[in-house]
Homo-oligomer: A and B are copies of this chain.
Amino acid sequence: MEVQKVLEEVLRRVKPSDGERERIRVAVNEVTSRLKGLEAEIHGSFAKDTWLSGDTDVDLFVFFPKALGKEYLSKEGLREILGRLEGMETRLAYAEHPYVIVRVDGIEIDVVPALRVESGDQAITAVDRTPFHTEYVREKLSDEGRDQVRLLKRFLKGIGVYGAEIKVLGFSGYVSELLVIGYGSFLEVLRSASDWKPPVKLVLEREGKEFESPLIIPDPVDPRRNAAAAVSLKSLATLSLASRYFLDRPSLDFFYPPPPGEQEVVGEVLVTQIKIEEPFVEDVLWGQLRKSVERIRTSLASSGFNVIDVGWCQDNDLKILVQLETSSVGDHYLGQGPPFYLRQSMGFLSSNERVWIGEDGRLYTIRRRKETDPNRIVAHSLSLKYKYSITQYQLKEAKDDCVRAFLRKRPLWLK
Binding site for B on A (CB under 8 A): 196-198, 214, 232-234, 236-238, 240-241, 244-245, 266-268, 304, 306-309, 324-326, 328-334, 339-341, 345-346, 349, 353-361, 364-366, 408-411, 414
* B330→A267 contact, CB < 8 A: yes
Nearest B residue to A293 by beta-carbon distance? B359
* B357→A234 contact, CB < 8 A: yes
8 A-B pairs (CB sep. < 8 Å): A196-B341, A245-B346, A266-B366, A304-B325, A325-B329, A325-B333, A349-B414, A355-B410
Interchain CB contact (< 8 A) of A328 among B328, B341, B409, B414: B328
Interchain CB contact (< 8 A) of A409 among B237, B306, B330, B355: B355
Interchain CB contact (< 8 A) of A346 among B232, B244, B361, B365: B244
* A366→B308 contact, CB < 8 A: yes
> Which residues of B sit under 8 angstroms from A244, Cβ to Cβ?
346
> Which residues of B sit under 8 angstroms from A245, Cβ to Cβ?
346, 349
Shortest CB-to-CB span from A361 to chain B, Å, is 4
> Which residues of B sit under 8 angstroms from A346, Cβ to Cβ?
241, 244-245
> Which residues of B sit under 8 angstroms from A414, Cβ to Cβ?
349, 355
* B308→A333 contact, CB < 8 A: yes
Assess A332 versus B267: contact at CB under 8 Å? Given A340-B241, A341-B196, A354-B408: yes
* B345→A241 contact, CB < 8 A: yes
* A241→B306 contact, CB < 8 A: no
Shortest CB-to-CB span from A372 to chain B, Å, is 10
Shortest CB-to-CB span from A289 to chain B, Å, is 14
* B232→A309 contact, CB < 8 A: no
> Which residues of B sit under 8 angstroms from A411, Cβ to Cβ?
356-357
> Which residues of B sit under 8 angstroms from A333, Cβ to Cβ?
306, 308, 325
Copies in the complex: 2
Interchain CB contact (< 8 A) of A325 among B233, B330, B355: B330
> Which residues of B sit under 8 angstroms from A325, Cβ to Cβ?
304, 329-330, 332-334
* A307→B334 contact, CB < 8 A: yes
* B356→A410 contact, CB < 8 A: yes
Apart from the given pairs A241-B349, A266-B366, A308-B332, 8 other A-B contacts in the complex at a CB distance below 8 Å:
A234-B360, A266-B331, A267-B331, A267-B366, A309-B364, A326-B330, A354-B410, A366-B409
User: Shortest 5 CB-CB distances between A and B: which pairs?
Assistant: A325-B330, A326-B330, A237-B340, A354-B409, A197-B341
> Which residues of B sit under 8 angstroms from A359, Cβ to Cβ?
232-234
* A241→B364 contact, CB < 8 A: no
* A340→B308 contact, CB < 8 A: no
> Which residues of B sit under 8 angstroms from A306, Cβ to Cβ?
304, 329-330, 333-334
> Which residues of B sit under 8 angstroms from A198, Cβ to Cβ?
341, 361
* B366→A241 contact, CB < 8 A: no
* A266→B356 contact, CB < 8 A: no
* A361→B409 contact, CB < 8 A: no
* B304→A360 contact, CB < 8 A: no
* B237→A357 contact, CB < 8 A: yes
* A237→B361 contact, CB < 8 A: yes
Shortest CB-to-CB span from A310 to chain B, Å, is 10
* B332→A329 contact, CB < 8 A: no
CA–CA, A366 and B354, complex, Å: 36
CA–CA, A340 and B307, complex, Å: 21
